[in-house]
Amino acid sequence: MRRRATRVGARLAIVLACGAAAVVPSLPYAQAPAQAVPTPAATPGPADRAAPRTDQNSLTAHAQLLEKARAGRIDVYFVGDSITRRWGATDYPELLANWRQNFFGWNAGNFGWGADRTQHILWRLDNGELDGVNPKVIVIQAGTNNIGAQPGGADKIAEISRGLAAILERCRQKAPKATVILTAIFPRNDNIAVMPEIDQVNANLARLADGRGIRYLNVNDKLADRDGRLRAGMMNERDQLHPTLQGYQVWADGLKPILTELLGPPASTDLAPPPTGDPSAQRK
């Protein structure tokens, strides 16, 4: 398995060395003033190095996810940040109902956590959240918190690409028989000036896919127009970052044909562990 993971890293190195981080042309995105969005309190180091979240709420959530990883049966393992988390969380009941509507019978487990960057996801994977799970499919949706609300240039694009490749490698190491679905970073309009960077990271992600054990899914053309401006109703109007019910359904519609190909149609029963939620919301 280490040889396969090394190939992923080597493929990304070739992509970056050949300038793939710059192959997507700059699009005519208009500058927009940045808006405040929740981010981790401190920059946690390079995007491809594991780093823990140290706030108590995140540590409690990690403990709950460790319990979830050892409960029930998980054939489809979702990992990511708040965009992933909200879909299958008890504190977003409308989104949880949509999750169940789309994935019941495929034994899907949600292992997203809010505000995580690639570093934090790597730490969670290194600290037991995928150990012994042996899913058949892993869905990765991560990187938007590394993108943030301000452009950063070619070095930032390359670093985020390495961080996402590291998550892919870790998933392949922990679950070598699983097919991994790399989901493109979703468009965000809290500052549309970051859209070219999202496009360029996504171009690098696409080059990591081999069409077999590593798939690439990009539904962004259904979430935003060709200029990167969000289509009506797809993202939360307040933050212009998190999908609405309609936006999540677009993601589901992209995933379900792949899941059907890999797993067959959903069963009439579901053995996935119960959903979790934000510990701080549960205390209210």
Q: Following CA atoms 7, 12, 16, 19 in sequence, which dihedral angle do they give, to the nearest 10 degrees? A: 90
| Confidence (pLDDT) at 122 | 98
The continuous run of DSSP H or E covering 79 comes out as: strand 76-80
Q: Describe the strand order of the beta sheet including 214-217 as a list of residue ranges.
A: 108-112, 76-80, 137-141, 179-183, 214-217
Within 8 A by CB and 6+ apart from 220, the residues are: 184, 186, 187, 202
Q: 148: closest CA among 19, 37, 240, 284?
A: 37
| Confidence (pLDDT) at 22 | 41
8 Å CB contact between 228 and 195: yes
User: What sections of the chain are H helices per DSSP?
Assistant: 2-17, 56-69, 82-85, 93-103, 118-126, 144-147, 154-174, 195-206, 220-223, 245-263, 279-282
**What pTM did the predictor assign?**
0.89
| Confidence (pLDDT) at 245 | 98
- The whole-number mean pLDDT for each consecutive block of 10 residues of the chain, a chain of 284 residues, reads 56 56 39 36 84 98 98 98 98 98 98 98 98 98 98 97 98 98 98 98 98 97 97 97 98 98 98 97 70
What is the rounded CA–CA span in Å between residue 3 and residue 280? 41
What is the rounded CA–CA span in Å between residue 235 and residue 228? 13
What is the DSSP-derived secondary structure letter of residue 87?
G
What is the rounded CA–CA span in Å between residue 53 and residue 123? 9
What is the rounded CA–CA span in Å between residue 131 and residue 133? 6
